[in-house]
Amino acid sequence: MRQHVNPLSRFFQLPLELPAPDCLFDDPSRPIHLDIGCARGLCLLELAALRPDRNHLGVEIRRPLVRSAQRDRDRLERLNLHYLFCNANVSLEGWMAALPHDHLQLVSIQFPDPWFKRRHRKRRVLQPSLLLAIAATLQPGRELFVQSDVLAVIEPMVALVELSGCFDRPAEDDRPWRADNPLQVPTERERYVRDLGLPAYRVLYRRNRQPLPDRQDLEIAWQRVDNPANDAFSPDG
């Protein structure tokens, strides 16, 4: 059973100053894999051992999960791994902007909380501002990976990414959904879905050389696709 928090509540709207990589990892020069909404973080715990050439950062809005994940990290001394509590849509943009050039090489958003109702669209983790911050930080060829077991969650994410024009899908990947997880290690939710014999919907993107679109234009275009009946939409409303 997933435990939701409302990311729009006042507490989660307080911006946090996140530590720089040299405060998080034993070797801050390694490229970073950022996993947004890492939950209990077991996927990253395995990935840190499988991919010691990368630093792995998991961010999660549920503080108790972060505490538990960080205890595992400390116990196993995975010094290329760290977990942070934050609201990604409030605190990540400035952190990414401060990274050295081409330091962030992979971003993943896996099985985010299913705010699938259109009236809850502002609670979804992948918002236009966050996507544009990711696109601004990733250099051409670097990757964004998204997956969910709920079509009503993954479809708006895919629509937003593709409306931005900043990402392409690898020509060799299956359409509409990639068959396998390129990270090689499943999340807790992915294991649960797999054990039930249910599908997971996955898309891998690579940053292209297109410039960032205007945020408000992207907001309006996304609204028209995701909620075409609401003609009175205001991006700031």
Q: Which residues contact 88 (CB under 8 A, 6 or more apart)?
A: 36, 37, 59, 61, 125, 130
> Under DSSP, is residue 55 helix (H, G, I), strand (E, B) or coil?
strand
Which letter does DSSP use for residue 60 in this model? E
Which letter does DSSP use for residue 74 in this model? H
What are the helix (H) ranges across 98-185? 128-137, 151-164
Asked whether the beta carbons of 186 and 43 are under 8 A apart, the reply is: yes
168 catalytically annotated: no
Asked whether the beta carbons of 202 and 181 are under 8 A apart, the reply is: yes
Q: Which of 113, 174, 180, 217 is catalytic?
A: 113
Q: Catalytic positions, please? A: 113
